[in-house]
Amino acid sequence: MVLGICPQHSKRFLRALTKEKLLEAKHSGPRLCIDLSMTHHMSKKELSRLAGQIRRLYGSNKKAERPFWIYLTGFTTDSPLYEECLRMNDGFSSYLLDITEEDCFSLFPLETLVYLTPDSEHALEDVDLNKVYILGGLVDESIQKKVTFQKAQEYSVKTARLPIQEYMVRCQNGKNYHSKILAINQVFDILSTYFDTHNWPEALKKGVSSGKGYVLRNSVE
């Protein structure tokens, strides 16, 4: 059921609708885990960037037609990141998601986990409701790739990367810069759009900005 925004749909009504959709996702939606167990080496500036990415990710999920249920794992309420989230993200303490100190690897059966990392050999083909997708909560590009891939290997957990090279090509840019490493909210926008449309080109267009040096194949032919 798609509802047009009519004047009689008050903010309160729309908030209730959003809440209902999110709580429904808790029982029957796809699951996404943000692994925040690697934040202890982060600078204040990096923590602020990560808190901002969590805010944008949650904002996108609230607007989604079919939201995910989100877990923030390895996350303690006395951590500098938690303080930063409270400071930067309005209403953070009432976000509809699960916050746990537990690691994602002990929270779910290992065979259900898929760690999304740019170093994986496997392209993600679909979003499976029986799987739990993990994003590493890191903002430093130089370590992000290695750390998340090693962590998945350590626990013998399946990995996957977004199918950027299957659907996109490098484009010329002034800086000759090409990166497949995205912020967690950009990865989420791709997953969420794909889950809604089952169309990878459309989903990738949503999260991979031209500044990353990649465009959809058909747009350069």
φ/ψ (deg, to 5) at 114: -135, 115
In one letter, which amino acid is 57? L
**pLDDT (tens digit per residue) in 143-187:** 655 788 888 999 999 999 999 889 888 777 655 555 667 899 999
DSSP class of 66: S
Q: Which residue has the tokens 């679909």?
A: 126
pLDDT for 211 equals: 67
Handedness of CA 55, 121, 208, 66 (dihedral sign): negative
In one letter, which amino acid is 109? P
CA-based nearest residue to 114, from 68, 159, 47: 159
Average pLDDT over residues 8-19: 81
pTM for the predicted model, two decimal places = 0.88
Is the model's pLDDT at 111 over the cut of 60?
Answer: yes
CB contact at 8 A, 208 and 80: no
**pLDDT (tens digit per residue) in 50-70:** 999 999 999 999 999 999 999
* 3-state SS class at 99: strand
Structure tokens at 87: 């400071």
Which residues, in sequence order, are bridge partners of residue 159? 115
pLDDT for 103 equals: 94
Half-sphere exposure of residue 130, counting CA atoms within 13 Å on the CB side? 2
pLDDT for 1 equals: 47
CA-based nearest residue to 194, from 147, 125, 91, 103: 125
CB contact at 8 A, 71 and 42: no
